[in-house]
Each structure stands twice: as C-alpha cells, then as structure tokens.
Amino acid sequence: MDTNPLKYIFVSHASEDWNKVRLVRNYLEEQSFYPLLFHLKCLETGGKDFDLLKDILHREIHARRRFIYCKSQYAMKSKFVRWELSQVKTVKGAVFKEININKPMSEIQNELLYWTTFLKTIGYIGTWKSRIIQKMIFEKLKNMDSNIKIIGFEDDEHIPVWYGQLPQSAMDYIKLQYSKLNSASLVIAFKTSDYHKRGFCDRAEYSAKGGMRLLSLDIPDSQCSNPDATFIEELLGSIITSYFI
C-alpha cells in the first residue's frame, strides 16, 4: 500500500444514496485512492452508540485532509451529514469536493477524474541551481507515492531579455509554463540565490498564489551542487508537514 496518507478520502453521504455512493467509491479506488465511507445501523437508533460514533468520526475527520460530499436531497436533510460537513470546515488545509450524486455516473466520473488528477499533481518553481535538489526531492516523493505527477516552471536562462524587454514568443512561452501550475494542488518554490535575479520565478510564484498551496524552500548556495542527506531530509520534512500530513 502507498505510504502517502493523502490517498485516503473521507466521503460524506446519506445512507439512502448507498447504491450510487459505492460506485463513487469503486471509481476512486480505480484512481488509486482509498475512500473512507461509513454505513452504520446505529445511526438509525441514536443513543450512546450515536454519541460514541460522533467522537470517533470527529477524530477521523481531523486526521484527514481530503473530503468528498455526495450531495442529494437525502444528504441535505441528514442531520449527521450536516454535522460531518461542519467538522470538515474546521480542518486546516482541507481539500474539499462536492458532487451531485443524482447526476449520471459518467458525469460524476469526469468530475472525479479532473479532481483526482489535480490531487496527484505537484508543481515547482526554480532555476538551474536547484536542479540536483529538485531531482533528489522528487525521487523521494515518488517513492512515497508512485502516482504523483511532477510539473513545473524552471528559469534556466534560455529565455532572452533584450534591454529589459521580452520578445512576444518568450512571453507566450512563459504564460504557457505559468498556466501549467494551475493543475497542481501544491507548488514548491525552490529559492536559490538567483531565484529573484531575472524576475521570471517571481512571476510564476505570483501566478501560483491564485488558490493553490505554495510552499517556499530556502536553498543556500552551499547545498546546491552537493546537498547533504540531512538537508534533503529537512526539506522533505517541510513538504510532508505542509502537504502530506
């Protein structure tokens, strides 16, 4: 089993929608995720079992970061589903997806495909100085989860600047590279000493702040060409703390 804890997705749903919800569960599993669903008889009777379950679910919800709400007329009327959603709103860093369970399954699958691809994608911003560190970090992340997709913007100084101006072809290229970052659920900025030199990384970072999670990592020159294992583990720990937990 993958060691990435964010492969688990907490699913809020009404018991009456179970037949359709289990199709959602099956599709998420096909996408290499582990959906968490609860379909329990004690919800119908209340009492001490109900109170105990709420305590367990409260802790479970706050241990997760990814959530799906299967919206329906039953779910909107469910006191328990509304309680779950109120708990999700208090989770720091929660990534939330609402789907209309009454839609055709083909439409639901298209929505989920886009969302799960977004969850699997990590972006980065950096210059050539951080290439060795990038490679080492991404190899470790891939070992945690083989389904992770890496995309990014790198200023390797091949983009020409003439008298402070950019040719249109360069501007088009930069805009295209920036737009790719929109498909990443996390963007890592590898901030070496030349990160701000030409301004392109700054523009990419500004673009990446639009609704995405941006993590800045400061990289001293002494670590660029031959980073030590301790430093790499520290960077990886920052990523895990910010995103994977």
93-127 pLDDT, tens digit each: 788 999 999 999 999 999 999 999 988 899 999 99
Domains of the chain by range and CATH?
A: 5-102 (3.40.50), 120-244 (3.40.50.360)
Q: Which two tokens stand for residue 57?
A: 């679910």
What is the C-alpha to C-alpha distance for residues 192 and 210, in angstroms, rounded to an integer?
A: 23
The better pLDDT of the pair 169, 31 is held by: 31
Provide the pLDDT for residue 205.
84
15-61 pLDDT, tens digit per residue, is 899 999 999 999 999 988 999 887 666 665 656 667 777 888 889 89
Looking up tokens 């969850």, which residue turns up? 119
243: part of which helix (H) or strand (E)?
none
- Say which range, 127-136, 155-164, 224-233, has the weakest mean pLDDT: 155-164
The pLDDT value given to residue 47: 61
Report the alpha-carbon distance of residue 57 to residue 68 in Å, rounded: 15
232-239's contacts with Cβ under 8 Å and 24+ in sequence apart are 232/133, 232/136, 232/137, 232/140, 235/133, 235/137, 236/137, 236/140, 236/141, 239/137, 239/141, 239/186, 239/188, 239/215
* Burial label, 208 (beta-carbon count in 10 A; 0-12, 13-18, 19+): buried
Report the amino acid identity of residue 70: C
- How would residue 245 be classed by pLDDT, with cut points 50, 70 and 90? very low
Task: Give the integer Cα–Cα distance in Å for 134 and 112.
Answer: 29
